[in-house]
Copies of this chain bind each other. A is one copy, B any other.
Amino acid sequence: MKQNHLAFADWLTARAQHIEQKLDELLPPADAVPARLHEAMRYAVLGGGKRVRAALVYAAGQACPVSGHAMAVEASLDRAAAAVELIHAYSLVHDDLPCMDDDTLRRGQPTLHVRYDEATAMLAGDALQPLAFQFLADMPIAPALVVQATQALARAAGSRGMAGGQAIDLASVGRALTREELQQMHGMKTGAMLAVSVALGGIVAGASSVARRALDDYAQAIGLAFQVVDDILDVTADTARLGKTAGKDAAGNKPTYVSLLGLEEARRFASSLRDTALQALAPLGEGRARLAELADFIVLRDR
């Protein structure tokens, strides 16, 4: 855990470059059979995104005093960060398919099924999931911690996490949700993977149960804040800046925090969630600085 001297923006950029390089190394090479599938997997994962989930893994790892061999922990944080980025990437590929959101633009580039074809997009997503679990299984830390990490990621990605949130989201189009329903849906769809990113950092670092609880509380708050801010940006930002189609939720008649609370109240809600997240970090000591900065980053970002 170097780079403590860097300003937050520089640290975040350095971490994004670092995980990009690790993903490039860890993904199957584009010329390995089946080459087209491996190319598609690399297209889905490499080349950008804010890498917020990876940054959360690293920041959470850094917030806990490392128990165990420091180099093994660092290598394991890389694999855990790569795993959450893979799950995130696969979910975007499948979400973009015609039978789901039918989107053609992602990070300013053609979506995978536009660039390749639908079958390849489905298979690339399907193949990224087990690779994520393989990355966790390859972490050079105590097997009992690997098992805990696997349980956490499996829960976060599954029917009671991300995939379940997606299903509720689909069923909710054109329906008025209550604030509780909206919160549950986003807690599963977006929050679960953000939360598990934080949890994995703690697990890999061998965090105490007190530290793990603090990380969980922090993660709940920023997970929700992330979605509230996403909803705000869908209304206030333009397509060029977002790198994806702006105004899509409103046009699709999807329930959002802005449609439910109004713009100003949604902004106040995001701000209060940031306060909750920062308070949750109190038990963690000095190493928590990057997590606090990430909370600010999530709430104050403009894309």
Contacts and interface: CB of A to CB of B under 8 A. Distances in A.
A162 B259 CA distance: 43
B100 A33 contact: no
A268 interface: no
Interface in A94-137: 94, 97, 99-100, 117-120, 122-123, 125-127, 129-131, 133-134, 136-137
A163 interface: yes
A154 B134 contact: yes
Interface in A138-162: 138, 142-144, 146-147, 150-151, 153-155, 157-161
Interface residues of A, number: 54
A99 B118 contact: yes
Interface stretch (A34-42, A240-248, A250-258): A34-42
Contacts of A166: 123, 126
Nearest to A132: B154
Given A122-B94, A126-B94, A137-B151, A34 B168 contact: yes
Nearest to A40: B167
20 contacts: A28-B160, A37-B159, A37-B163, A91-B126, A94-B126, A97-B99, A97-B122, A99-B117, A99-B118, A99-B119, A100-B122, A119-B170, A123-B166, A126-B129, A130-B153, A130-B155, A134-B154, A137-B150, A143-B144, A147-B147
A171 interface: yes
Most buried by B among A33, A41, A123: A123
Contact of A163 (B127, B146, B153): B127
Contacts of A36: 167, 171
A86 B264 CA distance: 46
Contacts of A159: 28, 34, 37-38, 41, 127, 131
Given A122-B97, A126-B94, A143-B143, A164 B33 contact: yes
Nearest to A118: B99
A130 B127 contact: no
A130 B154 contact: yes
A234 to B, nearest CB: 21
Contacts of A134: 150-151, 154-155, 158
A159 to B, nearest CB: 4
Most buried by B among A123, A125, A130: A130
A94 B119 CA distance: 9
Nearest to A121: B99
B130 A167 contact: no
